[in-house]
Amino acid sequence: MTTAQLLGNDPGWLIAVKAVLVFAICVVSTLMAVWTERRVLAKMQLRTGPNRVGPAGLLQSLSDGVKLALKEDIIPAAADKVVFIIAPIIATAMCFMAFAVIPMTGVVSLFGHKTALQLTDLPVGVLYILAVTSIGVYGVVLAGWSSGSTYPLLGGLRSSAQVISYEVAMGLSLVAVFIYAGSMSTSDIVASQHQHIWNAVVLFPSFVIYVISMVGETNRAPFDLAEAEGELVGGFHTEYSSLKFALFFLAEYVNIIAVSALATTLFLGGYHALPGLGFTEQWFGGWFTFIWFLLKVNFFFFIFMWLRGSLPRLRYDQFMKFGWKVLIPVSLVWILIVATLRVLQQQNAPRVAIIAFAAGLVIIVMAISSVFERNKQKIRTTDLPEGATPNFPVPSLPNVQSINVSGGN
């Protein structure tokens, strides 16, 4: 029985319960994520991080949230009120919606029903996630535009340009997964990885491209140009306060968890255990798979924190150049290779042909790279031209001999 059939048998009340459960998981994991990030980042900087509220500061983000909610809510006079209020709602709602198709456990029993912790299983689940997260960008763009202020507008525009650019690379990296799994449904992709091998191994380039573009997609360091605090104050949420700001905050973290969950599902075998530890999946009536899922998501979340702790922010042109001129061409070429290999396999081509194709590719890559190396322009050092000597005193220029000040005609 496939997951889709399993979920099809859910009664209505169970779907409602699962919806609440998914929502609760998102909110609680956001609270935990904020705390984890602050603690881990602090450790990377020889600090302690929040440790006052609750045991080891665990309730810090909760108290921050309560504080934010109780603060004065300011709507600037220049703001477009309706859009200003709708924007954070769009951003947050879309992030939560992305979680609907993420398979979080294997077959478990929930209130006596055999089901899986996944709200629904669409045949085009991954496309649905891409669509929903793209709509989430509207929240950011509209927030920037409706604030009636310069910096938020710049932040919103940057963010839209960024997400569009990196969504292309992300989508292309997913195409390889679709080709390999033969399905766009999240649960089918997990199942196909369970039968064969993790996509992160077979489709390693796609995995790397996805991980890079998911950081770009979520506006996180080192790609956090949309809210570059040194350049744009707070970016698109500069004018936001109180609960509306909290919603953006929530959206950002739910988004991070959503893309991490998607990465887990598509590349790291989803809720299944690590190879060789398959027996653990039966523990707690199958609920242990949820632990595996969380562990894998946290692995990606750690990468987010690690990047934030290690890398400075990119310049905007470098960022765009990297997205369009490196990530997208590389993924395009990689998809061609994957598609060719897949077709060769499905047509039952002889093993020799596949190996010959792979070897030919390697030779072509080596040939191109050697040509590039040779043609690399040797940077010449030219001799310093003789310094111009004006006939009036000027401050001396670097590398120019000092000027005779007493001169003059």
Partner 1 sequence: MTDFNEKMDVEKRNSGQADINSVPFIEVEQPGPAPLAQQAKGFWVTFSTMFKKNQTVQYPDVKAPTQPRFHGRHQLNRHPDGLEKCIGCELCAWACPADAIYVEGGNNTPGNQMSPGERHGAVYQINYLRCIFCGLCVEACPTRALTMTNEYELADDKREKLIFEKEDLLAPLRQGMLAPPHPMYPGMTDTNYYNGDVKEAHPSQAEK
Q: What are phi and psi of 253, to 5 degrees?
A: -75, -40
The only residue of 76, 171, 234, 309 in contact with partner 1, by rule CB under 8 A = 309
The verdict on 408 binding partner 1 (CB under 8 A) reads no
The only residue of 55, 112, 384, 408 in contact with partner 1, by rule CB under 8 A = 384
Q: Residue 264 in contact with residue 297, Cβ under 8 Å?
A: yes
Neighbours of 16 (CB within 10 A): 11
The only residue of 11, 387, 393, 407 in contact with partner 1, by rule CB under 8 A = 387
The verdict on 278 binding partner 1 (CB under 8 A) reads no
The verdict on 347 binding partner 1 (CB under 8 A) reads no
Q: How far is the CB of 399 from partner 1 (least distance, A)?
A: 7
Q: Residue 332 in contact with residue 173, Cβ under 8 Å?
A: no
Residues in 17-56 at the binding interface with partner 1, rule: CB under 8 A: 40, 42-48, 51
The only residue of 195, 375, 399, 409 in contact with partner 1, by rule CB under 8 A = 399
Q: Residue 248 in contact with residue 143, Cβ under 8 Å?
A: yes
Size of the site for partner 1 (CB under 8 A): 28
The verdict on 382 binding partner 1 (CB under 8 A) reads yes
What is the token pair recorded at 284? 């707690």
Neighbours of 349 (CB within 10 A): 14
The verdict on 68 binding partner 1 (CB under 8 A) reads no
Closer of 336 and 394 to partner 1 (Cβ): 394
The only residue of 369, 388, 395, 409 in contact with partner 1, by rule CB under 8 A = 388
The verdict on 367 binding partner 1 (CB under 8 A) reads no
- Using CB under 8 A, which of the segments 61-69, 164-172, 283-291, 395-403 binds partner 1? 395-403
The verdict on 114 binding partner 1 (CB under 8 A) reads no
CA 235, chain centre distance (Å):
18
Query: Under the rule (CB under 8 A), what is the footprint of partner 1?
Result: 40, 42-48, 51, 306, 309-311, 379-385, 387-388, 390, 394, 397-400
